[in-house]
Amino acid sequence: MSVTFEAPRDLLDPGTRDAALAELDSLGVRSLRVVLYWYEVAPDRDESTRPPIDETDPSNYDWRRYDALVDAARARGWSILLTVSGPVPKWATKARRDTVTRPSPARFQQFMTAVGRHYGGRVGTWSIWNEPNLPRFLRPQFSKGRPASPQLYRKLYDAARRGLVAAGRGGDPTLFGELAPRGTGSVVAPLTFLRGMLCLNDRYRKRGKGCGRLDTTGMAHHAYTTRQGPWFRPAGPNDVTIGVLSRLTRALDRAARAGAVPRNLKVWLTEFGIQSTPDDISGVSLARQAEYQAISERMARANKRVAAFSQYLLRDDPPTGPDEYGGFESGLRFADGRAKPSLDGWRLPLAVRREGRRVSIWGRVRPATAPTTAELQYRNRGSRTWRRLQTVRTDARGSFTARAAYRSGRRWRLRWTAPDGTVRTGAPIRAYARG
């Protein structure tokens, strides 16, 4: 399972990009997810009249903001997962009133040809549209009380594949989905969306002749949970959070039996994070954030269908007002740059699961590029001293498993000495009993 990182505010800003890349390098990042918004690179984007250009010609778009990041990451040897998404130029929509309502598949196909020609060879994996089940990115979500966005998205996805084929990138890995995890009155639930875009009824049987088998490498999903933690199980049967990933894999298997997608399709968790304080509504404590991050990654690794996991944000989004947090507080640093415990926790994640009188331990030295050793430490309740429990040996990607005795009130952490002599310690974490 690979791990990607997404930090648009830090990485797309020329003033912070170099420092952010250096820090991500020290954390062990080797892959980035970048969301490219069609609207941001298009000419005459706020005009209702389509400009007289060859839309397949990359020279007619302004790629500079994204080029700088893609080229800097490539220079470090990192891979790029590029999600191409709306909002779109106003002239590329059916009614030409806004930038998200009924984008034209024909226009999108032309644009994807330009994207493929411009970034071909620099992008490892393509993904189509960010959270198309949210009205912020695609409208209408519903029409006459029924989901409308799934079929709109299917046409856009198929158009994107045709565009990539025309650009000579038809053999590149391409993902669909990128769905938000839970449905509401204005958001189509992910499994409802999946069935709709694949022309399947509630029993996963073909409905009509509108869809052939989807041409895809895998499904991307945003399996965010709530402050209840990774084990949260949403009541809506069509919702999919990290704690109920089996709902998604079962749905994909049923869709495969109906001939709608390839068999044994992999799942890419392309956007994920645990929100923390100072958001007291959606966020958990700083200690819990580090713990839940590692537990979620361990849960993803335990699912053999998961091909990729991710971290969303290096720094929190800025507050929207005094004690108001309308963005995401899932960063490893506060909005002002101060480090959270999760910064060290993400570099050296550790998840300790209680199993009766023993604990099962999974951890990772994320910066490691070859087998290495680390010290597993503990601190008992009431003590201020960290002691060595054992030295662990990792695999080539830095992961290890171990077992030890359980003791109530004990804290655990990893200590690792990098090849240059820098000593790193992970966040203190507690044992958990679920999952």
In a domain, 71, yes or no: yes
- Check residue 96 and give its pLDDT: 96
Residue range 402-419: average pLDDT?
A: 97
203/201 Cα distance (integer angstroms): 5
- Look at strands 79-85 and 31-37 and give their pairing: parallel
Q: Which residues contact 222 (CB under 8 A, 6 or more apart)?
A: 131, 178, 179, 180, 181, 269, 270, 271, 272
For the stretch 185-213, pLDDT in tens is 999 999 999 999 999 999 999 987 778 99
Among the listed residues 165, 145, 162, 146, the one whose alpha carbon sits nearest the alpha carbon of residue 154: 162
- Check residue 321 and give its pLDDT: 86
137 & 45 share domain: yes
191 & 168 share domain: yes
Mean pLDDT, the chain, rounded, equals 97
Residue range 134-141: average pLDDT?
A: 98
- Check residue 324 and give its pLDDT: 87
163 & 227 share domain: yes
For the stretch 154-177, pLDDT in tens is 999 999 999 999 999 999 999 999
157 & 259 share domain: yes
Residue range 140-146: average pLDDT?
A: 97
In a domain, 133, yes or no: yes
Q: What is the CATH number of the domain that holds 196?
A: 3.20.20.80
- Residue 435: pLDDT band with limits 50, 70, 90: low
Domain end call among 347, 368, 384: 347
For the stretch 262-295, pLDDT in tens is 999 999 999 999 999 999 999 999 999 999 999 9
394 & 301 share domain: no
337 & 380 share domain: no
* Residue 106 in this model has a pLDDT that exceeds 70: yes
For the stretch 226-271, pLDDT in tens is 999 999 999 999 999 999 999 999 999 999 999 999 999 999 999 9
In a domain, 276, yes or no: yes
Structural domain of 129 = 2-347
- Look at strands 218-221 and 266-269 and give their pairing: parallel
- Check residue 422 and give its pLDDT: 97
333 & 415 share domain: no
Domain count, the chain: 2
- Residue 323: pLDDT band with limits 50, 70, 90: confident
Residue range 416-432: average pLDDT?
A: 97
Long-range CB contacts for residues 42-51, cutoff 8 Å, separation at least 24 = 42/88, 42/89, 42/92, 42/111, 43/89, 44/89, 44/91, 45/89, 45/90, 45/91, 45/99, 46/89, 46/90, 47/89, 47/90, 47/91, 48/90, 48/91, 48/96, 49/91, 50/91, 50/92, 50/107, 51/91
In a domain, 407, yes or no: yes
Cβ neighbours of 20 (radius 10 Å): 21
In a domain, 383, yes or no: yes
pTM beyond 0.95? yes
For the stretch 331-347, pLDDT in tens is 999 999 999 999 999 99
74 & 129 share domain: yes
Domain end call among 312, 347, 382: 347
In a domain, 325, yes or no: yes
381 & 260 share domain: no
In a domain, 435, yes or no: no
- Look at strands 174-179 and 125-128 and give their pairing: parallel
Indicate left, alpha or beta for 104 from its phi (over 0: left) and psi (-120 to 50: alpha).
beta
96 & 169 share domain: yes
Three-class secondary structure assignment of the chain? CEEEEECHHHHCCCCCHHHHHHHHHHHCCCEEEEEEEHHHHCCCCCCCCCCCCCCCCHHHCCCHHHHHHHHHHHHCCCEEEEEEECCCCHHHECCCCCCCECECHHHHHHHHHHHHHHHCCCCCEEEECCCCCCCCCCECCEECCEECHHHHHHHHHHHHHHHHHHCCCCCCCEEEEEECCCCCCCCCCHHHHHHHHCCECCCCCECCCCCCCCCCCEEEECCCCECCECCCCCCCCCCCCHHHHHHHHHHHHHHHHCCCCCCCCEEEECCCCCCECCCCCCCECHHHHHHHHHHHHHHHHHCCCEEEEEEECCECCCCCECCECCCCCCCCECCCCCECHHHHHHHCCEEEEEECCEEEEEEECCCCCCCCEEEEEEECCCCCCCEEEEEEECCCCCEEEEEEECCCCCEEEEEEECCCCCEEECCCEECECCC
229 & 172 share domain: yes
Q: What is the CATH number of the domain that holds 416?
A: 2.60.40
329/313 Cα distance (integer angstroms): 8
191/195 Cα distance (integer angstroms): 6
361/377 Cα distance (integer angstroms): 12
70 & 215 share domain: yes
Domain end call among 347, 370, 388: 347
In a domain, 33, yes or no: yes
